[in-house]
Amino acid sequence: MTGSVKAHMKQAVPSLVIMLLMVMAASFASSRFFTAANLRNVLTQTAVLAIVSVAQCTVLFVGGIDMSVSSVISMSTICIAMFSGDSLGGLLLGIVLAMAAGGLTGLVNGIGVSRFRIPAMIITISTQAFLKGICLILMPSSGGKVNQGFVRLIKTKWGIFSVAFLLTVVLYLLFYVLFHYTRFGRKVYAMGNGELYASQSGIDTKKMTVLVYAISGMISAFAGIILSARISSGNPLVGDSYAMDSVAAAVIGGVSMNGGIGSVAGALCGAVILSLINNIMNNLGISPYYQYIIKGLLLMFSMMLFQLKRRKTV
């Protein structure tokens, strides 16, 4: 198992190098970059994307994809904004409803992929659209009230770190151990390297697929809960950018879209890289429209690099 962990971690090295080079370049380009306030801002902005990237990694490792994460995030902010109010009971109810919505969405995705053999892209786009419609019915525009005690807790700072980012780090440590040092993780990577072979070795691939998508949905809901504290409201469209950005973060971090290769550690580097792009361009006063161009180029380059590696190993 140690050898396989090293092999998966090697995939994250290029993204780590890119991240360090970007930090060095940013420090020279802008004197404001290395201020405590700016670094805290980068890490806080990274938190939600990094959490969703864990969800995306979970399904990418088995060769799937989850585009419904965006609507799950939006629904979670609405649940918190509608029910949390000023009471602890309301906050807990909002959290339970958000996690249930995420888990149920993932369950539908998993059943669609495993039982009905619907392509992952198709079923997750379908649930994304369905859930977005529910979001717009419940809250046509941004609104609601998020529990202010919860907002203050998530925004609490220690130096350059916020509670939101520290929770993200804890989540990554848990899933790093889960994927690399447990039977569950071994089954996930085995499925990514060949579902037929995994099935022949005794793995219940249908059950695992449903479980993986349910986990993805619940992690996405958790991301939405954290985001609700950051924006202090519910928003039916706030999650829209996170579907493709989470895929980009994972792929830039060395996770293969074909399954079975990569580590959540790389996805964290990828999420930081995307946040750095936004931060650096904002500090330099460059139009945010160019951010889409750079993100697209990074994603295309990462995917091309993977294909070249696959050709060399075939």
Question: At 99, which CATH number?
Answer: 1.10.3470
Task: Determine if residue 39 is left, alpha or beta; phi over 0 gives left, psi from -120 to 50 gives alpha, anything else beta.
Answer: alpha
pLDDT at 81: 97
Identify which of 164, 217, 146 has the alpha carbon closest to the alpha carbon of residue 50. Answer: 164
Residue 89 lies in a domain: yes
Q: What is the pTM of this model?
A: 0.93
Q: How far apart are CA 164 and CA 224, in angstroms?
A: 12
pLDDT at 173: 97
Q: For residue range 187-229, what is the model confidence (pLDDT) as tens digits?
A: 999 999 999 899 999 999 999 999 999 999 999 999 999 999 9
Q: What are phi and psi of 260, to 5 degrees?
A: 80, 5
Strand ranges (E), the chain: 157-158, 161-162
Domain count along the chain: 1
Q: For residue range 34-75, what is the model confidence (pLDDT) as tens digits?
A: 888 889 999 999 999 999 999 999 999 999 999 999 999 999
Task: Point out the residues of the chain with pLDDT beneath 50.
Answer: 1-3, 314
Residue 45 lies in a domain: yes
Residue 20 lies in a domain: no
Residue 6 lies in a domain: no
Residue 242 lies in a domain: yes
Q: Which domain holds residue 198?
A: 38-308
Residue 159 lies in a domain: yes
pLDDT at 281: 82
pLDDT at 117: 95
Residue 73 lies in a domain: yes
Residue 24 lies in a domain: no
